[in-house]
């Protein structure tokens, strides 16, 4: 069941980001708007689009979140492998995504302090930008 959900969510998330999905959404809205006069702009006519968009949005949140979670886990595994395989890298950084937000901010602050003052970082960034 879980594998089926993962396959469906990955496929739907991929398809939802394609131009035909956008065109389908726009066409749905156009058809709804054009039928307004036919249904005399009734409450039921408005309820149809509101209900439809709410349902689609509700379901898409879960499907897209599942796809993003899997992508993030895959990227994290790749980064962990790069740390593990790189000579001189600090293996203590493997798995830090499981730390609390406060701990991550503390780690980030410590890393930033070890890289030097802001002016040297700014110069390094400017050199990087100017290489393009």
What is the mean predicted confidence (pLDDT) over 89-100? 91
pLDDT-derived band at 104, boundaries 50, 70, 90: very high
CB burial of residue 60 (10 Å; 0-12, 13-18, 19+): middle
With a CB cutoff of 8 Å and minimum separation 6, the contacts of 115 are 121
User: pLDDT averaged over the chain?
Assistant: 90
Return the residue matching tokens 């110069």: 123
32-61 per-position pLDDT tens digit: 999 999 999 999 999 999 999 999 999 999
What integer pLDDT is reported at residue 36 of this predicted model?
A: 95
Separation between Cα atoms, residue 32 and residue 53, nearest integer Å: 12
């Amino acid at each position: 069941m879980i594998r089926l959900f993962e396959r469906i969510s990955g496929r739907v998330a991929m398809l939802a980001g394609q131009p035909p999905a956008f065109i389908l959404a726009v066409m749905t809205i156009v058809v709804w708007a054009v039928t307004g006069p036919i249904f005399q702009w009734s409450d039921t006519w408005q309820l149809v689009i509101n209900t439809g968009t709410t349902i689609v949005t509700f379901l898409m949140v879960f499907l897209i979140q599942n796809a993003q979670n899997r992508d993030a886990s895959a990227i994290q595994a790749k980064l962990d492998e790069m740390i593990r395989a790189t000579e001189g890298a600090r293996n203590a950084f493997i798995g830090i995504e499981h730390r609390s937000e406060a701990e991550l901010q503390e780690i980030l602050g410590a890393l930033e302090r070890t890289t030097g003052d802001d002016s040297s970082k700014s110069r390094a960034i400017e050199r990087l930008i100017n290489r393009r």
